[in-house]
Structure 1
Amino acid sequence: MVEDEELLLAVLNSAPVIDGRPTDALRGEGATEWVRTTLGGRGTEAECERLRLVRDELHSLIRGTTSDTAALTTTLRRARLRPEVSSAGVAWELETPPDERLPVCVVLAWSRVTTELAGRLRACANEECNLYLVDHSRPGTARWCSMAACGNRMKARAHARRRRTG
């Protein structure tokens, strides 16, 4: 499951806001290299486009701004799991066109994380941030992508607001 979480978060967090400016690791010159080195993909334009569609739809689903799953359904349409039997048991082999393999894996990772860690995948509570987290805290109350970055910033803002008004 750790690999699923890492892949899912890498794709979800591939469009961070840096110094107030939105960025996108899946778009532009460095996209091919980023997909190859970070995600282990092929880095083709088709693969990057499918990853962007999956990421953007997952952003909307996680933030609750849509319930539309058309891009996810389309992504899975040509994917098949084929059983491989050995003396160790049954393993499932993913069959899909090469440029669709990584986007399919992201959708499967999202499904597994949301099923096994229900309610723990969420957007950072800092509205200026575009990052996501999987909350592993015991009470399930983590709110920020990072306590050092967004958590600290948000707590400092709340403290300053209280001081001004009280």
Structure 2
Amino acid sequence: MNVGEGETVLLDLLNTTPVVDDRPTDVLTGEWLRSHGASGRRLADVRRLRDDLQRVVRGGDPAVVLTQYLDGVTQTPAIVDGAVEWRLDADWAARVVLAWGELQASMPGRLRPCANGECHLFLLDRSRAGTARWCSMEVCGNRMKARRHYGRAKG
């Protein structure tokens, strides 16, 4: 899993608990694992990783809870085509946590929960100003703006 793939897998994993028909839903399945390079991983272990990451991104847990997923990770230098290349030895869960760490370093504060309190999804704000608030402008953004407008008109 390279850096770009890691970001995608991380965001996809965080977003496996959408609200559907006003009910929280878990869409993390064996098929999801296979399609995201996690074949052979236990579903319960990936759910635990997801839940820990969600709490950290929401600010409910300190990032140190993710340390357990980094046990045994090593990086070794090698000479490849006349240049030093670093080889990472890490399992799937560690690579997801490392992707989170890369985002924290390269885009601090840009990975965050949707500002709609009824939504359980997360967004990676790639906007220039860094002011994106909703997972989807079409769904959550419209809903929240309509709610605010209705509240002002009624009040």
TM-score surpassing 0.5?
Answer: yes
What's the secondary structure of 2:54's corresponding residue? helix
Work out the number of aligned pairs and report it: 153
CA distance in 1, matches of 2:144, 2:19: 16
What's the secondary structure of 2:33's corresponding residue? helix
CA distance in 2, matches of 1:91, 1:52: 33
Aligned alpha-carbon RMSD (Å): 1.6
Q: Structure 1 pair 154/116, CA: closer, same or farther in 2 (3 Å)?
A: same
Q: 1:76 aligned to 2:76? A: no
Residue in structure 1 matched with residue 119 of structure 2 by the alignment: 129
Residue in structure 2 matched with residue 114 of structure 1 by the alignment: 104
Residue in structure 1 matched with residue 25 of structure 2 by the alignment: 23
CA distance in 1, matches of 2:77, 2:117: 43
Residue in structure 1 matched with residue 58 of structure 2 by the alignment: 63
Any gaps of 5 or more consecutive residues in structure 1?
A: none
Q: What is the TM-score when the length of structure 2 is the normalising length?
A: 0.90
Q: Is the 8 A contact 1:32 1:43 kept in 2?
A: no
Residue in structure 1 matched with residue 34 of structure 2 by the alignment: 36
Residue in structure 1 matched with residue 86 of structure 2 by the alignment: 92
Residue 43 of structure 1: CA displacement? 4.4
Deviation digits for residues 21-73 of structure 1 (CA, Å, limit 9, x no counterpart): 111122xxxx1111101x1221432xx22322222112111111221533x21
CA distance in 2, matches of 1:17, 1:91: 43
Percentage of matched positions with identical amino acids: 45
Deviation digits for residues 66-92 of structure 1 (CA, Å, limit 9, x no counterpart): 21533x211111222223320163333
Q: What is the TM-score when the length of structure 1 is the normalising length?
A: 0.84
Q: Structure 1 pair 84/49, CA: closer, same or farther in 2 (3 Å)?
A: farther
CA distance in 2, matches of 1:74, 1:137: 32
Q: 1:147 aligned to 2:142? A: no
AA aligned to 1:7 is V
CA distance in 2, matches of 1:135, 1:2: 15
AA aligned to 1:146 is S
Any gaps of 5 or more consecutive residues in structure 2?
A: none
Deviates more, 1:85-94 or 1:140-149: 85-94
